[in-house]
Structure 1
Amino acid sequence: MTSLIDIIFLLLLFFMLSSTFSRFADVELGASGGGNPARQASVPAFLKLSADRLLLNGSELTNQALQAEIERLRTSANVNAVILSVDETASSQQLVDTLLVLRRSTGISLQIVR
């Protein structure tokens, strides 16, 4: 019985020391408009997130350049929606980072698909 308690204590200590306690950023996800006919027609941009790259309408970008490109498309091509396709190779931290960049862009609605 004593050796079992020692093993449990060592496992508990291992998992406590190997885990991270940093908080991920909070991301608000709002509900969609629900087919409101009074809204203007949305012009979407297609964003694909995978483990090794980020594609916006087929062009490869970094997270730092994403917000500037979204703003450019919003003003020049009247893009007011982003459809985000998340590959299964993308990590949850990459998704959170991308959502935070998209959240800074005002007037852009977001839809996440797989």
Structure 2
Amino acid sequence: MYSKELLKGTIEIIILKLLSENERMYGYEITQKVKELTDDKILISEGALYSSLHKLEATGVLDTESVLMGKRPRVYYRLTKNGKLVAAEKIAELSSFIKSLSNVIDFSISLA
């Protein structure tokens, strides 16, 4: 599992990426998909997940839909029209950052 410091700046982008590939998802589904895709290396706590989801909703990036599952409501999250644009921008920015970071790391390794 990666440190909280590494994950801190990426949780929202992870959420945006998953929602850009799926019409809608609920919280637990998001955490399980991340766990599955990363072979248990990225585990998002409920606190971090829902804090990020609520922030994205408050800024108009996400809409919610509540569906009754038995006696409990399940809240689904989906990207708004603006959210799709934000997701594309943030995903591209992170991808570029990862490439730049890789260049730094690869350069440092070649000097060793």
Indicate the TM-score class for this superposition, using the shorter chain for normalisation.
under 0.3
Q: Higher Cα Rg: structure 1 or 2?
A: 1
